[in-house]
Amino acid sequence: MSLKIMILGANGFIGSALTSAILRDRDWEVYGIDLSDNKLGSLPKNDRFHFVEGDITINKEWVEYHVKKCDVVVPLVAIANPAQYVTHPLRVFELDFEANLSIVRHCVKYGKRLIFPSTSEIYGMSPDAVLDEETSPLVYGPIEKQRWIYAASKQLLDRVIYAYGVRDNLDYTLFRPFNFIGPNLDNVEEPKEGSSRVFTQFLSNVLYRRPIKLVDGGRQKRSFTYIDDAIECLLTILENANSRASRRIFNIGNPANCVSIRDLAERTIRIAQEFPVLRESALATHIVEVTAGEYYGKYYQDIQMRVPAIAAAERDLGWRPSTDMDTAIRRTIEFYVKQENFSARAAALAGG
Ligand code: UGA
């Protein structure tokens, strides 16, 4: 029997990649909802894809009806950009926590399987050199550092979902994305600084020939994971109903791609030069250093090191990421360069 999957946030970065992979490589049906469909526009028409343009905080009946109707629920609607944790902490709480809690409760009520995005942020400033799903401490800063509202919201949801698993046998899998990058990550053409995550921010800086700003010198490290590797893992989780993935937590990350933010900036500038439309801009892009306070304001606190343990996914899901750092950067830039608007803007800025 074909699986019926509900994807909330089907037009997001992870949602759109997951939706297209399912429609391309599996025979499952997808019921999706999102505020718009611009990232799904290029999908070939498919009878197995049912999409509605809507807001999960408004179209509540549609959401509940489809939780009832589907086999698996994947709620991917969330604010996931650190600049917004510090400027709109209550919006993060309302959407990432409150709106998602109601979906979790529908899954409990109707006995549906839940595949829920936790986050690499959940480990906070954990002292562990390699972050383990079951043993690493979760360490956050003081309340004034509002950045942690995202991690705290996600942590409480992880605990709520876990508790529903223990008490009500909720069938769930929690996955923790570690700095996924790839096509459709953020809007690179958005000129406002700080509106996207680091890699797309750097690419946007190259596009607009603005200096790349390294927060506190760019010594902090992240492990970047290419979206196709991540989607492979999610498909394996979706396939493993009631077995290896049930009531488990998996880091989805690529420890081999642990690089400093300075290194990421240098690689981005170097690889952007391979694309004729970006070459001149990339050659003209400088790197400067700014303090975290200057860049994000006083409510921010950074994470210095973030390396995932992936033994659980390797052992129980047979999954291993394979895309190295430069390939991940190159493929992502290639995607953006192929977008008409992006290359038109790049050409116009190069000419001007
Ligand atoms: C991210 C976001 O919270 C989420 O996307 C997600 O839950 C999680 O982590 C993840 O993707 O794993 P973070 O890695 O801190 O958090 O977010 P980025 O905005 O991508 O920043 C990474 C690092 O680059 C930070 O240390 C930041 O200070 C630095 N940065 C960012 C710069 O040096 N310059 C910039 O212009 C932007």
Q: What is the pLDDT of residues 95-120, one digit of tens each?
A: 999 999 999 999 999 999 999 999 99
Which helix (H) or strand (E) is 288 found in, with range? Answer: strand 287-290
The mean pLDDT value for 159-188 works out to 97
Inter-helix orientation angle 198-207/325-338, to 10° = 50
**pTM, entire model:** 0.97
Query: For residue 311, which of 125, 134, 74, 139 has the smallest C-alpha distance?
Result: 134
| Cα Rg, the chain, nearest whole Å | 20
Q: Work out the percent of the chain whose per-residue pLDDT is above 90.
A: 89
Is 90 exceeded by the pLDDT of residue 178?
Answer: yes
Provide the pLDDT confidence category of residue 181 given band limits of 50, 70 and 90. Answer: very high
Q: From the CA of 237, how far away is ligand 1's center (Å)?
A: 26
Contact 338, 279 (CB under 8 A): no
Q: Read off the pLDDT of residues 53-88 as tens digits, 9 standing for 90 and up.
A: 999 999 999 999 999 999 999 999 999 999 999 999
Contact 12, 18 (CB under 8 A): no
Q: Read off the pLDDT of residues 308-317 as tens digits, 9 standing for 90 and up.
A: 999 999 999 9
Please give the number of the atom of ligand 1 that sits closest to the Cα of 214.
Answer: 33
Contact 50, 43 (CB under 8 A): no
Between 221 and 346, name the one with better pLDDT.
221
Is 60 exceeded by the pLDDT of residue 352?
Answer: no
- Which mutation among 197, 201, 257, 306 tests ligand 1's pocket best, with the greatest number of atoms within 8 A of CB? 197
pLDDT value of residue 1: 61
113 CB near ligand 1 (under 6 Å): no
Q: Determine the Cα angle at 205 with ends 149 and 292, to 5°.
A: 40
Is 70 exceeded by the pLDDT of residue 247?
Answer: yes
131 CB near ligand 1 (under 6 Å): no
Q: Read off the pLDDT of residues 7-47 as tens digits, 9 standing for 90 and up.
A: 999 999 999 999 999 999 999 999 999 999 999 987 778 89
Please give the number of the atom of ligand 1 that sits closest to the Cα of 290.
Answer: 33
214 CB near ligand 1 (under 6 Å): yes
Q: From the CA of 323, how far away is ligand 1's center (Å)?
A: 20
DSSP three-state, residue 290 = strand
Q: Which residue CA neighbors atom 23 of ligand 1 most closely?
A: 198
CB atoms within 10 A of CB 197: 18
* Tokens, residue 179: 């700095």
Q: Identify the structural domains of the chain with CATH numbers, from first to last.
A: 78-262+291-351 (3.40.50.720)
- Which mutation among 192, 215, 268 tests ligand 1's pocket best, with the greatest number of atoms within 8 A of CB? 215
Place of tokens 């893992």: 233
Q: Given CA atoms 135, 251, 93, 103 in this order, what sign does their dihedral have?
A: negative
Distance, first Cα to last Cα, the chain: 57
- Distance between CA atoms of 30 and 113, rounded to whole angstroms? 15
Provide the pLDDT confidence category of residue 342 given band limits of 50, 70 and 90. Answer: confident
Is 80 exceeded by the pLDDT of residue 194?
Answer: no
Q: From the CA of 132, how far away is ligand 1's center (Å)?
A: 20
Q: From the CA of 321, how far away is ligand 1's center (Å)?
A: 20
* Tokens, residue 9: 């946030």
Q: Which residue CA neighbors atom 10 of ligand 1 most closely?
A: 179
Q: From the CA of 82, how far away is ligand 1's center (Å)?
A: 6
